[in-house]
Chain A
Amino acid sequence: MDRAGVTRRRVLISASAATAALALPFIKRAGAAEDKRLVVYNFDGVLGQAVKDLWIAPFAKKNGVTIDTITMTGSSPPMAKIKAEIDAGRPDADVIPMQLTDHVFATRNNMLQTIDRGGMPEYANLYPQFITDNGPGLIIWCYGLAYNTEKIKTPPTSWRDLWNPAYKSKVALNEALFEQALQMVNLTFTGKPTPVDDATFKHLGDLKPNLLTLWTTGAQAEQLLRTGEVWITPLWNGRVFTLKDQGVPLDFVVPKEGFFVRYDPYCIPKGARNPGLAKEWVNFICNEAPQRELAEKLYYASPNKLVRYPPELAKRVVVSSPEVLKKAVTEDFAAIVDHLAEWRQRWDAWKQS
């Protein structure tokens, strides 16, 4: 055998060395990825896609980090699962957008980190009422009336229009936000959202002949409006204008009694694996550019004062200035959570009646 020749052993050794050399960068990258990786809960549908494109991708690219998403169904995170994970010290995400009632529950159960306002430079540009101890309230949803412009020629001006006898079996309410429906009834007849009492349910009873159904998801509301089964329903602005752009004969009005505003605090759970990067990302998404881009795409208003809306867009986002925001109904979410059980029972009893 040739002394300088290739032996089997030498081939094997060099082959493994070469493999190791090739694999090395990947191994190193995988190690580094742990502290450069963020997991965030995200919405489904068009909103989830927009958040991915406008808030997640630019930050990931700029900072060379990976951001994975967990998709929520029905715009609300699975609180039971998240609580169990936090109790066990291992939440599956670093950032969780929460509905306001979820947020009350999470703070009462001590599930969230307190974010030091000094550590969030972009907070200086946000309207203070949208900053919570656990994160900024983003994606301002605005609830008013959506109506079919072919069937209803005179645009509605008041929540009272839902009770119009001409709309028999043509009205729907949002079951998923029944607590808001109750406050809406009060707002219509007393000018104040609470207290929910016998009078509230009497007025709801009067609405029954007009009620075709109670929907639970935006997709369902969309289907009811598209087919013309429902002519008028409380709905949020973003959904209506997206449909209007597609040519569905719909429009959105802000009733004179006032409108409801909801937003999602972006929170960091206790025990999150990467709180530093999570804060950086949350601070990033509060910036003018990502905020403006989401407003331009899906018409959800921003809490950032620097975002300027051209007139047509201002109409669509509704909450375009502090003056408009003043017309929004002030809701006490802690009180809502406290009354939820009682209200739900009365609501269920009303449905059976």
Chain B
Amino acid sequence: MLWLLLPSATLYVVTFVIPLAIVIVFSFASYRAGVTTLGLSLDNYRAIFHDGVTFGIFAHTIRLAIVITAACLVVGYPVAIAMRRARPRGRLVLLVLIVSPLLTSVIVRNVAWLLILGRTGLLNRALLDLGLISAPLRLMYNDLGVVVAVVHVYLSFMILPIFASLSAIEPSIEESAMSLGAPAWRTFLQVTLPLSLPGIIAGSTIVFILAMGIYLTPVIMGGNFVVTVPMVITDLVHNQFNWANASALAVVLLFVIGAAASALNALGRRGRVPS
């Protein structure tokens, strides 16, 4: 039986375990004036918490990922319900619409958002023409622009798992609740929502993990004013040649993502929210 796993295990070791081991080794190296020396130094880890800047960027990245995940949930949940209620044809149309952002390149998508959210973009021009505002709003080159553009593409990762768990609910369960006199809102809060929790957890986990790794969107939509951990890592590797520091940051990022995923998983395993 084990030999069946050999090809995938080899691939996993070569493309994941070995590179990760190298990153871990480098995270203990020391860097001076452009030259990296392998060793057993904790300075790179210490720097993250004590340089006065990196920790703040870390906190901001986590905050941004939470906001993105929450926004995906709020926007995506009703769509998942609509998909569940739709007929097969309508469901297909919704599915195509939801998945379509994934089919375009991140650059094209962001440039399209520039045209909508820019100071002279569609939205600002429409609001100005309607007289609702007197000066263009700052809709991008800040956190808002980043959140909008990221939610747009990661929404599908939230909707599809929720839709899957909603579809698994026997309609008769909700019908029984209704027939026993529960109003629609109560049926939703006490039956549908708890039963769809596995989907919510799965979707949130995926979106949170992806959102912790955003790089290009903050560069374009945030105008570089929004700095995320992956941007710092890229800069350290590419411009500062400081692979030791970059590796330590990558290890901590991986650890935070792992911790968040486990926490969400544990929440899911506790089963239904007590009613």
Contacts and interface: CB of A to CB of B under 8 A. Distances in A.
B233 to A, nearest CB: 12
Contacts of B224: 175, 213-216, 351
B227 A351 contact: yes
Interface of A: 76, 79-80, 101, 104-105, 108-109, 169, 175, 212-216, 220, 223, 227-229, 337-338, 340-341, 344-345, 348-349, 351-352
A228 B120 contact: yes
A33 to B, nearest CB: 31
A109 to B, nearest CB: 6
A337 B57 CA distance: 23
Interface in B49-84: 51-54, 56-57, 60
A76 B119 contact: no
Given A101-B239, A108-B34, A108-B35, 16 more contacts: A80-B238, A108-B33, A175-B219, A212-B141, A212-B223, A213-B224, A214-B225, A223-B114, A227-B120, A341-B245, A344-B235, A344-B240, A345-B51, A349-B56, A352-B56, A352-B227
B220 to A, nearest CB: 7
B204 interface: no
- Helix, strand, loop or mixed for chain A's interface? helix
B241 interface: yes
Contact of B220 (A212, A220, A340, A345): A220
A169 B238 contact: no
Given A216-B224, A340-B240, A352-B227, A109 B35 contact: yes
Nearest to A352: B56
Contact of B242 (A213, A214, A341, A352): A341
Nearest to A179: B239
B60 A352 contact: yes
A338 B33 contact: yes
B198 interface: no
A109 B53 CA distance: 28
Contacts of B141: 212-213
24 contacts: A79-B241, A80-B243, A101-B239, A104-B34, A105-B34, A108-B35, A175-B219, A175-B224, A214-B225, A216-B219, A216-B224, A223-B114, A229-B118, A229-B119, A337-B241, A340-B240, A341-B245, A344-B239, A344-B240, A345-B51, A348-B232, A349-B52, A349-B53, A352-B227
Contact of A341 (B56, B138, B238, B240): B240
Interface in B215-255: 219-220, 223-225, 227, 232, 235, 237-243, 245
A213 B57 CA distance: 19
A337 B33 contact: yes
Contacts of B114: 223
A228 to B, nearest CB: 7
A226 to B, nearest CB: 11
A86 to B, nearest CB: 14
Most buried by A among B35, B138, B238: B238
Contacts of B263: none
B164 interface: no
A76 B56 CA distance: 29
Given A105-B34, A212-B119, A340 B225 contact: no
A338 B31 CA distance: 11
